[in-house]
Structure formats: structure tokens, C-alpha cells
Structure 1
Amino acid sequence: ELLLASVAPCEPAPWLPLVEAGPDGRPLEEQLAEILGELADFFVDIARRVSVLRFSGVEPKELMNRFDEPPPLVEIRTLAGWLQRSVDQGLIRLTDGSAMAMLMLTSMHGPAMLTDMLGQHPTGHSRDEYVTFMVETLMQGLRPDGAES
């Protein structure tokens, strides 16, 4: 119990207020880069916490059981809300906000976990290069029909 308390985040993810407040008037690519950058930094911290748990023989699920609603579900819902507001403003097209939110989260979570295990980014990209690549890739799928690239 003491180990769980020591590695459990004490507050909601620091990027949530950014997502809850948007989208704003800046170009969508800029906002996505900011969000994905914040996610990348956040997941570096989470990867370290999960490593400590696993090394200690504690399954991360035990940590999730401490919450009324597990943080990953809150995060998916919050990102899906940002995406839906972007649709409502005509900024993107979207078929499934929860699936896209999951894609955004896992695209930043996976590299953080692998970097923690390997000691280097698995694709050889810097954080900023990887975020830029992901923004460009996401925009290919999200850009409204007829919008310029």
C-alpha cells in the first residue's frame, strides 16, 4: 500500500486543463503539437512509475483500483471531448472520438515505455521530431474534406 501511494500521481494529469480549455483560435496543428508534446512528457513520468511498480512485483491494475474512474478512461473521455469540439467548430472531421483519443494517447505512451526499457527512443527520433511526425500523420486523417494541407 505504501509503494502504491508513493508512485501514484497525486493530481490529475497536468495536460488535462489544456485539453479541457480547447480548442482555441490557434492553428490546429499547433494545438495538436502542444497536446502531443505534453502527452509525451507526461508518459515519460508514467513509464518510470510503472517500471517501479513492476520491478516491485505490483501490477499497475492495483494502482487503477484506487480510483473511482481510472485515469486512462478520464483521459480518453477528455481528449474525445476536445476532438468533438474541434468537429463542432469545423476544424476536423472525425468518425470516432474515443478511438482517435486512444490513438493519440498510445502514440505517445508506447514510445515512452519503450524508451524507458531500451534507453533510447525506439524510432531514433527526438521527442520534437516524433511529435511533428504524429501531428502530420493525424492531420492527414482529421483534415476536413476539401481543406488544404
Structure 2
Amino acid sequence: MTQRNQCVVYKTGDTTGHPLIDVDFSAVKYHPNSEKPTADASAELTIYPIGVYAATHGNASASLYFKCPTKDPEGTKPYIQASVHSTADQVSAKATAKDSMDILNSVSRSMAKQLGCASQADLPANVPLPEQS
């Protein structure tokens, strides 16, 4: 895997210049701690029990880290960091944070399969409900 892979999707006919979604993958050495956020952390952070770390940040973005060892010139990196972002003017009023995680999990499952690490990635076919705080 190269250092980073990105896919930006635009709505047909949209003239804002803002992508519908921006999906990004990077090989990384570390992942965030999945402990509950501190009181000063964003109230919109929601943790999901998939991969080694998964969280949504409001309704327009999500992050997911999963096990998938890769090698590059800098050495072995044990995780893939995946993220999806959208801008407020592109997100449906009906969209939920879980919708972002559903999209990211689906794309990440496909990536893990292509990289040969699906069995260790811990990415279920259906995203479970978020962890309760």
C-alpha cells in the first residue's frame, strides 16, 4: 500500500465545488485510544465497537482504524486509518452519524479484503450500535 489513498466523490451537476464525500486511507503505526472522551472533548464524538478504533464526529465525518499490517520504505505499519468527510452543504438533513460510519465501514471492508487482511480487520458486515457513555 502506498502512504495514502484518497477518493473524492462529487454529485453530478453540483456547482459548489464541495465533494459529496472524501474517503481517505493511510497506513499508520498507531491508533487512538478507545477510552471514553474526556469532559472537554467534543460532545459529538461517538465511539463504535469495530476495528481497533472507530468514531464519528458529528454527522459529517468518521474515522476508523483497523489491523492490516503493511510495509513501506519506513518499515511495517500495523494499522490502516480510514476516514470519510463531507461538508455541511452536502449532508442530507436526514443523515445520521451512523450513516457516515456505515459508509466508511463498507468501503474499509472492501479495502481490507483487497489487502488480504479482512480476517484480522474486525469490520462486521453491519455496524453495531455505538458504545454507550
TM-score normalized with structure 2 length: 0.32
TM-score normalized with structure 1 length: 0.29
* Greater Rg over alpha carbons, structure: 1
